[in-house]
Amino acid sequence: MAEAIAAGAREAGAEVVVRDAYDADASEMDQYEGIAIGAYTWGDGELPDEFIDFYEALSNLDLSGRKAVVFGSGDSLYPIFCGAVDTIEAKLKEIGAELVLPGLKVEFDPSKDQMIECKAAGWLIAGSVPAVK
């Protein structure tokens, strides 16, 4: 999903940086005009352990004026499907980011159509609208 979003943003002319959460530094986020954050949902709607430090560091930022999208996978057998997406969206709103579309939630692995949605999300983050083909 991250790579599809990145591909869409690149096609729209944006420079793209992709990082895993455990390698990312939340303080870098204020350097970017557009942000995509993704995480799988663990257990009953929780963030994965390797994502917690990054998530908590977001509280120190002001992302006002930044376009953002959140994406992630989950298991619909749990009562809260893709709860990590909802948690991250709430945090981004709290620190001023503008969500350009509702969170992209998938069951385990994205379908071909969901990958197209991810690519379109990259275009939106980059400030363009993909041409209909």
pLDDT(67) > 80: yes
pLDDT(133) > 50: no
In single-letter form, the type of residue at position 41 comes to T
Enter the tokens of residue 14. Answer: 């944006």
Query: Does residue 56 contact residue 94 with C-beta atoms inside 8 Å?
Result: no
State residue 129's pLDDT score. Answer: 67
Instruction: Convert the pLDDT of each residue in 74-84 to its tens digit.
Output: 999 999 999 99
pLDDT(107) > 90: yes
The Cα-based distances of 19 to 35, 69, 80, 83 in angstroms read 11, 15, 26, 21
Instruction: Convert the pLDDT of each residue in 2-57 to its tens digit.
Output: 999 999 999 999 999 999 988 999 999 989 999 999 999 999 999 999 999 999 99
State residue 21's pLDDT score. Answer: 85
State the virtual CA torsion across 21, 24, 30, 35 in degrees, nearest 10: -40
State residue 130's pLDDT score. Answer: 62
pTM of the model: 0.93
